[in-house]
Each structure stands twice: as C-alpha cells, then as structure tokens.
Amino acid sequence: MNVSRSTRTALVVAMIAGLFSISGLAQDPTDEAAAKIDEKFGGNIKKLFATRCSWCHQGYGMKQADGPKLAGTSKSLAQVMAQIMNGKTPMPGFKNQLKFEEVQALAEYIKALPAD
Ligand code: HEC
C-alpha cells in the first residue's frame, strides 16, 4: 500500500487525539461515587469529606495515610456509620459534630467507592 507521508501524519494525529478523548472520558471514581450521594442527600459529600476526614484519609478515601484506605472496607454500612460516630483510637468520633444524615451520607459514599 502506498500511503503518502501527509496521510500517515494525519493518521498518527487522529490516533493521538483519539487516545486523549478516551482518557478524558475515564471518570474519577470518587466523583462517580459522590454524584449518587450528592443527588440523594442534596449536599457536597466530597467537600464534607475534605473538611472532616481528608487530613487522615487521603485521596477522598482512595489512599492510605494516617488512617487506612476506606475504599473496599470490609465493614458493613452500619459498622462504617458506627465508626464515624464513635471513632476508634486514634480516630475521633464525629457524633457531636455531624448530623445523622451527614454520617449516613459519608458511610454510603465510602461503601460506593470501588475496592481498587
Ligand atoms: C485523626 C485522624 C482521622 C480522622 C480525622 C478520621 N479518621 Fe477515620 N480512621 C483513622 C484511623 C487511624 C483509622 C483506623 C482505626 C482502627 O480501626 O484501628 C480509621 C478508620 C476509619 C474507618 C474504618 C475503616 C475500616 O475498614 O476498618 C472508617 C470507615 C473511617 N475511618 C472513616 C472516617 C471518616 C468518614 C472520617 C471523617 C468524618 C474520618 N474517618 C476521620 C483516622 C482518622
């Protein structure tokens, strides 16, 4: 096949553009999980997480830091809610700072995160 240089260049450019558009579609999994929760609770769950939890739980729950990675937790929804309310040394409890709905929303967000 006799393909001219300019045709080849055009094909390479098209392929690279295609790769960029595919990677652009790959959504941040924390945004995907948050979207469902925000719709249900009518708040901004990632903002709440950033304010209260991010100094120990990094990457919106996706990475281990002072606290463990939360995505893929083996705890049930009820156990996650209990941990948020009561804490477990060195994690503080949040039952006096957060509304019940906020605890529930955080727990549902954590359970909605993909395990890896
Ligand atoms: C001061 C640091 C700190 C803060 C702030 C903090 N955590 Fe934690 N968290 C930890 C530590 C440390 C653990 C591990 C404790 C243990 O179970 O031994 C933990 C454990 C957890 C667990 C249990 C994970 C599992 O699979 O066992 C959940 C759920 C959790 N945190 C959620 C939250 C949420 C939600 C917030 C914000 C409202 C928060 N944490 C704020 C330090 C923190």
Kindly give the number of the ligand 1 atom that is closest to the alpha carbon of 66: 12
104 lines ligand 1 (CB under 6 A): no
Confidence band (pLDDT; 50, 70, 90) for 101?
very high
**Tokens, residue 29:** 């999994």
Measured on CA atoms in the order 107, 28, 50, 88, is the torsion positive or negative?
positive
Please give the domain boundaries of the chain with CATH numbers for all domains.
28-112 (1.10.760.10)
80 lines ligand 1 (CB under 6 A): yes
* Mean pLDDT of the 49-54 span: 98
Residue nearest to atom 16 of ligand 1 (CA): 88
Give the model's pLDDT for residue 8: 75
**3 state SS of 91:** strand
Residue nearest to atom 14 of ligand 1 (CA): 67
Give the model's pLDDT for residue 13: 64
Query: In the 8-state DSSP scheme, what is residue 69?
Result: P
Residue of 102 and 18 predicted with greater confidence: 102
pLDDT of 32 strictly over 70:
yes
* Mean pLDDT of the 21-35 span: 80
Confidence band (pLDDT; 50, 70, 90) for 24?
low
- Flag whether the pTM goes above 0.75: yes
Measured on CA atoms in the order 32, 38, 44, 48, is the torsion positive or negative?
negative
